[in-house]
Amino acid sequence: MINKKGQLDQIITSIIIVVAAVFISGVFVVISSNIAQISGVSYKSSDASVYTNNGVSKAVLDVFLADDVVVKGKSMKVSEAVNSFSGVDGLDNAVAVENLFKERYSCNGANSLGISKHKSFVKSDSKTDSSSSGVNINRYIDYPSRNVNSDNFGVAQTIYDGSSSSIYPVSFGKLSGASFELSDITVEVLAQETICVH
């Protein structure tokens, strides 16, 4: 004999459970989609350049540093010549290095070269009991903005305090191409052309 009452109870329970399950599934999907939501990116595609240096500038910089420069009849690598900028032969080396860049790598000023030295400092004022910090910049070469000259070569060019948003003076400007650290001197190149068309 079929127990109709037992089956009826089971059917009623099952229907209720199925409806509840469908409802809960719907709630699950809605809540899950909100929890698992991934927000879009907030940066622009150009921000990727933060992670790369300029491939063209880097190529010109590397080839320039590995090139040979003649100073007072003696041939040496550009990287060696730059390392002695703060020594006795500094000015002669700097003029030779800048002339080499002008002649072979600048493409009539399309490519820029910057060579500088930075030194951080902290200055204390005993009267006001305060201190300030900044960066002392010695810009040896800033081609094509300024040519190497003997008047202020080797002399600190500018002092900035820590509050300045940019440590480079307006007339020099930081080149945004590629840079290379040689001991405590930085060599930078911003290049738009590799092979200069004469």
Q: Which residues bind other proteins (CB under 8 A)?
A: 5-6, 9-10, 13-14, 17, 20-21, 24, 28, 31-32, 35-43, 48-49, 51-56, 58-60, 62-63, 65-67, 77, 79, 180, 194-195
Residue type at 28?
A: F
Comparison of 65 and 137: residue with beta carbon closer to other proteins: 65
DSSP β-ladder status, 158-161 and 130-143 = antiparallel
Closest separation in Å from C-beta 104 to other proteins: 8
Comparison of 59 and 159: residue with beta carbon closer to other proteins: 59
Closest separation in Å from C-beta 44 to other proteins: 11
Distances, alpha carbon 30 to alpha carbons 16, 18, 24, 27, 143, in Å = 21, 18, 10, 5, 62
| 11 C-beta neighbours (distance < 10 Å), count | 10
Comparison of 53 and 145: residue with beta carbon closer to other proteins: 53
Closest separation in Å from C-beta 92 to other proteins: 22
Is residue 174 within 8 Å of 131, Cβ to Cβ? Answer: no
Which helix (H) or strand (E) segment holds residue 133: the answer is strand 130-143
